[in-house]
Amino acid sequence: MFRLAQLTLLLQIAGEEAAPVRSVDRLAFYDFFSANPFVVVSGDTTRDNADRLTLRLAGFSDHQLSYASTGQRFASRLRRLQHDLSLLVAYGLVMIEDEGYGLTDSGRAVASQFISVYADAYREGARVVLGRLKRLSDRGLKRSAEEWLGRSWLLIDVLDDVLEATPGATDRGNRGEPRG
């Protein structure tokens, strides 16, 4: 339930921030980095410093509290994502359209009811992360993720693995015609 709530919150912020979630891989990156925003905010620019302050004030810590590496945690989370997403669709909280994944009216109503300190912090993390990642192409996002997570995360070609679960996706070997 916790992961489902997080995805609902993420899709709420994605809608507010005009950050289309066109594929499962993009959703996975957005979700993981929203829960672990200091992985993305690691530079020393004015923006990085401002975002770090925002995240600390929201309650995030820049110290990793997990026994697993960042890449291992991402890989574990990705394995559960498709199942979690299918549950949200089955519950009528998430819809799949040509533009990607988004909340239904019921999903928006549920997301607005999450009023815990963690929910507020996660929303803030999602705003920071989506503000940085939404403009990246899929290739650019993947390249940045490999940089942040390291190459040992064993998900070198995530885009091909989730093509079938991507709304409006086409099979590149099939002249752009939808798979079916």
36-94 pLDDT, tens digit per residue, is 887 777 777 787 767 777 777 776 666 654 444 555 667 667 778 888 999 999 999 99
How confident is the prediction for the chain on average, in pLDDT? 79
pLDDT in tens, 79-107: 788 889 999 999 999 999 888 999 999 99
**Selected residue with higher pLDDT from 92 and 132:** 92
The pTM score is: 0.73
Show the tokens assigned to 52: 């770090």
Q: Could you tell me if 114 and 121 are in contact, meaning their C-beta atoms sit under 8 angstroms apart?
A: no
Domain residue ranges of the chain, discontinuous segments joined by +: 2-174
Question: What residues contact residue 72 under an 8 Å CB cut-off, 6+ apart?
Answer: 153
Q: Could you tell me if 81 and 27 are in contact, meaning their C-beta atoms sit under 8 angstroms apart?
A: yes
Looking at residue 64, its pLDDT comes to 55
Looking at residue 178, its pLDDT comes to 44
Q: Is the pLDDT of residue 5 over 60?
A: yes
